[in-house]
Structure 1
Amino acid sequence: MEKVILDVDTGIDDALAILLALESKQLDVLGITAVNGNVPLDYVMRNSKKVLKHMGNDEINVFRGASHPILKESFHEFRVHGADGLGGALQDIEVDETEPGIFAPDFIIEQVQKYPGEVTLIMVGPLTNLALALRKEPRLSKWVKQVVVMGGLISEGGQGNVLPTSEFNMFADAEAAKIVFHSGSPVKLVSLDVTMKTFLTKEHVEWLHGTKYYDFIKESTEIYRALSEQKIGINGCALHDPLTVGVVLDPTLVTTAKYFVDVETKSDLSYGQTICDFKNLWNQTPNVEICLTVDHERFITLFLDRVKR
């Protein structure tokens, strides 16, 4: 099985990504690293542990990471994920507050150094933890197998979810993303261009009726689905983070190409924008493998199949 570390800011779609990663039975999850993002870090720790306990996998360690971005003030998305980050689900689950005595960036360095060329980092939150790890140990970029990132917006200008040109994970810590993109790490970017085509609809949720996770998925995604219906007329939850896990499980779900990509960190109008130089106007070496298309129907089928099991 492929060795992975799952870096999360749990949130609703992060929770679904954890479900998919573990229920796929294809990944050796070395640990989960938590980062400030969708909700504050304490919420992320608690939510991640709740999901693991609900699954019966609470032996997997959750490592506390960065509690704030590298430079900017924290930005959270309670309107999407609810007051607790899980849309009010799993309220009755109590979790052990004990934590491993290692900082998440140090855990990333430790594991990638221990298994050089074998570890995939699945990054579905702001990239603060990885940026800190790379600053401490630049050789990490040569040791890691691949870094699969949920974030950014490449071709769908004006379709961002924080600013017209910016996606949340990039906007939450653009300086961290810039460090990662320029580190020499093998980065694959799963952006809104493809994730916004993968909706878990109300009808899909009902297909899970009678299965272990039906109640959790129905309850947790309700606020997210309602917001999507209000904004774009679809009662559904875009599977941003689960698709990122899906791309690791089955790379043929997407078509990709490698280009030079940079991140805007100075403009008030476009902070966090991921800019792809399709025509090589900057004459720079390609540094990011971007996703061009997604077989969204096959991915939704994969997600439902794994979660049903």
Structure 2
Amino acid sequence: MDKIILDVDTGVDDALAILMAVESGQLEIAGITAVNGNVPLEQVMVNSKKVLQLAGRSDIPVYRGAGQPLLKGAFHEFGVHGDDGIGGSLQNIVPRVEDPVLFAPDFMIEQAKKFPGELTLIMVGPLTNLALALRKEPTLPQLVKQVVVMGGLVSESGRGNTLPTSEFNIFADAEAAKIVFHSGMPIKLVSLDVTMKTFLTKEHIEQLQGSLYYDFVMKSTEVYRKYSMDNYGQNGCALHDPLTVGVVLDPSLVKTAKYFVDIETKSELSYGQTICDFLHLWKKEPNIEVCLAVDADRFTTLFLDTLKKQL
């Protein structure tokens, strides 16, 4: 059973990723770490605890992390996730658990040292917490088993979701992403190139009828599905963050290859762009295992079957 920390900025797909991780039965979740991103940090804390409470897993601690990016101002995605980040759902749940005192980056360091070579970091928000942990503990890359990152856009420039060249998680703190990508950590990148192919439709959600999560998934995705309809002509939402959990559960869901990848932090036109040197023009050693293709249907089935366990 993989020991993980799940780092989130809990909007809708983060919430679905938490549920998938919890219900998989295959992951030992040491804790959830919260970071500013889709919504402000305090809302991330509330949302994460609400989702865990819905799943009956309030025993999993949620650690408060970075409340703002390393250098730039905070950037949020209310238009995709709703004013509260989870589409106005779970209004009847009041979190009951007090927050741990330990700062999220310190928790990452603590767990990596406690379980050297065993810990997987699943990063589905901006990479601020991990960048701070790396700055404090330079040996961290040698201590973790792997880092699986949802972020970036490597082969379809112009189809970003923040700038034409850029994906939200990287754009929200590109300086942090650059630190992480150059850290020497064993990183697998789950980018928009594959996550946009994993689309949860309204018809898919109907398959959850009778389960504990049907009402939540239907309600929480309303704003997200409207955004997708307006922009892509489809009544559904991409399963960005759940796929990142899925890649840990079953690596065979994706095809990967190693390349040198860097992050643009200076250009106004392409801040946050994830640049992959497919042709090895820079003559640098590969630093990222990039997901290039996904078995989307098999993943969507896995996601639905995992949440149906509560039927």
Same fold (TM over 0.5): yes
C-alpha separation between the residues in 2 aligned to 1:99 and 1:157? 40
What is the TM-score with the length of structure 1 in the denominator?
0.99
Match of 2:231 in 1: 231
Match of 1:83 in 2: 83
Structure 1 residue 193 and structure 2 residue 193: aligned?
A: yes
What is the correspondence of 1:42-53 to structure 2 with a 5 Å cutoff? 42-53=42-53
Partner deviation per Cα, 1:15-39 (whole Å, 9 max, x = no partner): 0000000100000000000000000
Structure 1 residue 63 and structure 2 residue 95: aligned?
A: no
SS at match of 1:28: strand
C-alpha separation between the residues in 2 aligned to 1:280 and 1:104? 36
C-alpha separation between the residues in 2 aligned to 1:157 and 1:130? 26
C-alpha separation between the residues in 2 aligned to 1:36 and 1:82? 15
SS at match of 1:242: helix
How far 1:97 sits from its partner (Å)? 5.8
Structure 1: which amino acid aligns with 2:185? Answer: S
Are 2:58 and 2:97, in contact at CA under 8 Å, matched by a contact in 1? no
Structure 1: which amino acid aligns with 2:252? Answer: T
Structure 2: which amino acid aligns with 1:213? Answer: Y
What is the correspondence of 1:32-47 to structure 2 with a 5 Å cutoff? 32-47=32-47
Match of 2:152 in 1: 152
SS at match of 2:237: strand
Q: How many residues align?
A: 309
What is the correspondence of 1:115-130 to structure 2 with a 5 Å cutoff? 115-130=115-130
C-alpha separation between the residues in 2 aligned to 1:59 and 1:39? 24
Structure 1 moving runs of 4+ over 6 Å: none
C-alpha separation between the residues in 1 aligned to 2:97 and 2:107? 19
What is the correspondence of 1:1-309 to structure 2 with a 5 Å cutoff? 1-96=1-96, 98-309=98-309
How far 1:256 sits from its partner (Å)? 0.1
How far 1:157 sits from its partner (Å)? 1.1
Larger displacement relative to structure 2 (62-71 or 96-105): 96-105
RMSD value over aligned CA atoms? 0.5
C-alpha separation between the residues in 2 aligned to 1:99 and 1:201? 35
SS at match of 1:200: strand
Structure 1: which amino acid aligns with 2:304? Answer: L
What is the TM-score with the length of structure 2 in the denominator?
0.99
How far 1:280 sits from its partner (Å)? 1.0
Partner deviation per Cα, 1:45-91 (whole Å, 9 max, x = no partner): 00000000011000110000000000000000000000111100000
How far 1:279 sits from its partner (Å)? 1.1
C-alpha separation between the residues in 2 aligned to 1:162 and 1:49? 27
Partner deviation per Cα, 1:84-119 (whole Å, 9 max, x = no partner): 111000001001362111000000000011000000
C-alpha separation between the residues in 2 aligned to 1:172 and 1:20? 24
Partner deviation per Cα, 1:262-286 (whole Å, 9 max, x = no partner): 0000000000000000111111110
